Amino acid sequence: MTRIFSLLLACFVVVAACTPSNTSQSLGADGKPLPKVYRVRGDSSKLQFRMLDSVNALRSASGLPAVELNAQLNAAAATHARDMSKQNRPWHFGSDGSSPLDRAARAGYPGPLIGEAISETYETELETLAAWMEEAGSRSVILDKNAINMGFAWHQEKSGKLWWTLEMGG
C-alpha cells in the first residue's frame, strides 16, 4: 500500500510540474514584461527624501558635494509633472510654452537652474533615477558640480502612470 501511495505521489508531482503556471506576465511590443503599477502612497516628503538621499549617494560616489531640497524647485517640479500629464507627453516645455528656466523663475528660485530630468513611467522613483543615470543628459544634470539645490516631484494618474520631474539648481 505504501509503495502504491509513493508511486501515485511521485506521478502527481511530475504532472504538477508539467502544468503551465498562471503567473505568466503580459509582454509589451518590445518583448519585455509590461511594468507593474507602482502606487505612490503615504507621506510624500519621505519619497522626496529617499530621492535626495539616493542622488546624494551618487554625487558622493563621484566626489561631488551633497545637494539640498529646495521648496521653490519642488514647486517648479510639481507644476511640470502635472503639466506633462495633461499634455500626455514627457518633454521639457510646458503647455504654455514655458521652459525649465521659466518655471524655476516663476516659482521664485533665486539661483541659476542647472537642468531638469523628466520621466513618464510606471516605475518607482529609484528605478527612474537608475534610468536617468543611464542617459547622458540626465546624468550630467544630476552630477553637475555646481548643483547645490534639488527639486523633485511627481504626478500620478488614476491609471497609475507616473510623471517624474527633478530640477537641479546652483
The model's confidence at residue 78, banded by pLDDT at 50, 70 and 90, is very high
Per the DSSP assignment, residues forming a β-bridge with 46 are none
In this predicted structure, what is the pLDDT of residue 28?
66
117-146: average pLDDT: 94
The C-alpha atoms of residue 155 and residue 164 are separated, in whole angstroms, by: 7
Nearest by Cα to 64 from 163, 148, 137: 148
Instruction: Name all domains of the chain by residue range, CATH numbers in brackets.
Output: 44-169 (3.40.33.10)
